[in-house]
Structure formats: structure tokens, C-alpha cells
Amino acid sequence: MVLGYLKNKFNMKIAVDARILSESVTGIGRYTYEVLERLVCSEHEWYLYSHRPIQVGQWDRSNITLRTFNFKGRLTRMIWAQTVLPYLAANDSVDLFWSPAHRIPFFLPSKIKTVVTIHDLVWRHAGKSMRKSSRLLDSFMMPYAIKRSDRVISVSSATTLDLIHEYPELANKISTIALGSNYNKISYDAEINHVKINKKKYILFVGTLEPRKNLENLIKAFSKVINRLSIDISLVVVGGKGWGGVDPSELARKYCIEEKVIILGYVSDEHLCYLYKYAIFLAMPSFYEGFGLPIIEAMSLGTPVLTSNCSSMPQIAGNAAVLVNPHDVASIGDGIIKMLTNSSLLENLSKNAIENSKKYSWDTAFTNTLNIFENIKNK
């Protein structure tokens, strides 16, 4: 964590839509926490707004004001964001409002400067993998957020190009700020592996259980590989329940490999660090990703990656991955076989992984984000 930031002359009042920190940490939550934890060390006043109590992080600094409630349900959450949140921002007389996830309230006072972070365009490029309600809301609210915001942050060059293609007027106000990883700095107990998974005897999948993550094609390809090679390895599945009825237990039964698929659900950072470190490789053949945070997390521990040849994934994985066609089970299977049968390839990918991961830093993300906030105020 950044322990401090050089004192500056700006001293703004900055509000943050912190709803994502009221639930278990996933990709966008991780981004919000890591950047915000550093931002609040700057010489500004911070107002964190959430419809529910914030569960992630410690926010007991003198320059932080928490405004949290206890509203439950998706519909209530959305109504709160369009009514209570803009009221709070107006009442607190904030100078700037930051949304770390795609949307800006419609009734936010026009005098408040705004920054929005766009992580992906799933609704445009992989809409069938979303809830219909979420797709509709994103298709309606993201264009408004982009138009309303003084600056837009994109998390990858691929997402930036997608956004400018979709909204050419964005070219003059968009900045690409990549995500980071600190998994190579996490300490864990050697006994944390309570399910007795053998080191270097498993492939790791990490992601929320939803259609976009392409778990069925991965499990199908894995079943074909282990039958073909007669190899004693497992597929470890990590991730909380999403939507769309993706059930890894049912998929394992469907392809007759129940004993080869280990389902862990949501795990702690310490446990996930262990799993990343001792996996043969991370398998992430998603249909679409705006960034693909598990790729960097795995690579920071020297773990190679199998991932898709589309959207942001080739850029993020660099020369530390084997790329496959996520729509083609045979392509995924061939990639798995290549990584399981070529030890020199794995060794080279592991070396490349560590070097590639050094390009991605939460400290850099923090610095660049704060610069954007302060430049807006200084104009």
C-alpha cells in the first residue's frame, strides 16, 4: 500500500460510488479497492457512498466520510443509485464524483465533475452472456455515463479501441490505465491447501460462474484431454456463483469426469495465491474480457496461462500464454495438450510470465488515476 502522497495544492472533495465494496471481492471490486486504498492517502477529502455497509477494506482515516445504508435487492440498489446517491453528492458539495464501474447517476448536479471507469463492452460484444436486465441497463446507461463524464478511464488498450470505435467523440477524453496485481506479495500458510490438492497436478480456472467465462467448453475439452493422455491431473474451479445456471458439478457429471473436477467456490486471497502458485497453468478461455485480471495475478507468481485469442486477452497475456479459440473445443484441447506435454514451453512461459506481470502495477494505476482527478480540478 502507498503510505502517503506528496502534499499538493488541490485538496478536493471527491465522492466515490463504493457499492461494489459491500460484497465479496471480484474483478471490479478488486480494482476499486486497490486503487481507492491508495487514493485516500492523498491530501483530499473522500466520501464513500454505498447502499449497504462496506465490507471490504479499512476506511477509518480522518479524511474519509462513509455514507452507507442497509438496502437490499437489485432493484432497490438501482433506485438508491439514481436517487439517494446524487442527493448525497449534492448535500456534501463534492467537487468530483468517480464511478469505478460503468454508470453515472442521471440526477447528479451538473456542476460536479465526473470520471467513470469502463472495464468492458460485454453488452455490445458478448451480450448473450449477460442477464437481459443487465444488458439493457448497460446499453442505456453506459452511453450516458460516457457522455456525462469529463474523463473516461479504460482498463486496457483493447477496451479503449472498442470504446473509440463505438463512440468516436471519446478520443479526446479517454485514458487507458491498466490494472495490477499484488499476489506475489501475499503471504500464505503452507497448510492452507486443506483439500489436499497436489502441487503441479492441476489446471486452475478462476472466474465468476457465468456463461461468458466459457467453463463448459473448458470442462469438455479437459475431459477429452485426460481420456486421450491418460494423465493424472485435476481441474480446480475457483469462483463465486454468478448467473445463467453455470454449475461446474453438473458439467463435470455431463462429461463423466466428476472425480477430476475440484470445485472450491469463492476462496480467500491467501488460498487463491497458493492455488495460482502451484497450478500447472491458469486456464481462462473466456469469450470476452475487458482486461482479464486473473491473467496478471497468475503471471505475477510465474504461472503460465492458456487464454483466448480475442478481445483484451492476447494483449494482457503477452508472450506468457498459449492462445486458443474459445468457441472451438478442439482448439482449447490442443492448447491444453501443448502445455501438458511440452515442459520447455512451460518453463519459457513461466519466465515470461514474471517479466510480463511487472508491466502492471496498482501503484501506477493509482498515480495515473489521481493525476486525472487533479487535472480536471485544475482546468
Q: How far apart are CA 54 and CA 42, in angstroms?
A: 21
CATH architecture of 13-179+361-378: 3-Layer(aba) Sandwich (3.40)
Which residue from 120, 124, 166 is spatially nearest to 147, judged by alpha carbons? 166
Instruction: Please report the beta strands in the chain, taking only residues with DSSP state E, as ranges in sequence order.
Output: 13-17, 45-50, 64-68, 96-99, 113-118, 151-154, 174-176, 202-206, 234-238, 261-265, 281-284, 305-308, 321-324
Predicted pLDDT of residue 305: 98
pLDDT of amino acid 6: 44
Please report, in angstroms and rounded to a whole number, the separation of the first and last CA atoms in the chain. Answer: 29
Collapse the DSSP code of 260 into the 3-class scheme (helix H, G, I; strand E, B; otherwise coil) and give the result.
helix
As a dihedral over the C-alpha atoms of residue 318, residue 175, residue 127, residue 130, rounded to 10 degrees, the angle is 90
> Residue 4: pLDDT band by 50, 70, 90 thresholds?
very low
Residue 174 has a pLDDT of 97
Task: Please answer whether residues 56 and 100 qualify as being in contact, where contact means their C-beta atoms are separated by less than 8 angstroms.
Answer: no
pLDDT at 190: 57
What CATH fold (topology level) applies to the domain 183-357?
A: Rossmann fold (3.40.50)
Whether the per-residue pLDDT at 9 is higher than 70: the answer is: no
CA distance 335 to 317: 15
Mean pLDDT of 320-328: 98
**Distance from C-alpha of 186 to C-alpha of 272, rounded to nearest angstrom:** 10
Collect contacts of 316-322 with beta carbons under 8 A, ≥24 apart. Answer: 316/156, 316/178, 316/289, 316/291, 316/292, 317/292, 317/356, 318/352, 318/356, 319/349, 319/352, 319/356, 320/349, 320/350, 320/352, 320/353, 320/355, 320/356, 320/357, 321/295, 321/349, 322/349
Mean pLDDT across 258-287? 94
CA-CA distance, 195 to 187, in Å (whole number)? 19
Q: What is the pTM of this model?
A: 0.90
* Strand-pair partners of 155: none
| Same fold yes or no, 13-179+361-378 and 183-357 | yes
Digit-coded pLDDT (tens) for 137-163: 888 899 999 999 999 999 999 999 999
Q: Do residues 103 and 141 touch, judged by C-beta distance below 8 A?
A: yes
Residue 203 half-sphere exposure, CB side, CA atoms within 13 Å?
A: 29
Domain boundaries, the chain: 13-179+361-378, 183-357
Mean pLDDT of 229-244: 90
Per-residue model confidence (pLDDT) at position 196: 67
Q: Does 188 score more than 70 pLDDT?
A: no
**Coil vs helix vs strand at 17:** strand
Rounded mean pLDDT of 183-209?
Answer: 78
Secondary structure of residue 176 in the 3-state scheme: strand
Q: How many residues does the chain have?
A: 379
Share of the chain above pLDDT 90, in %: 77
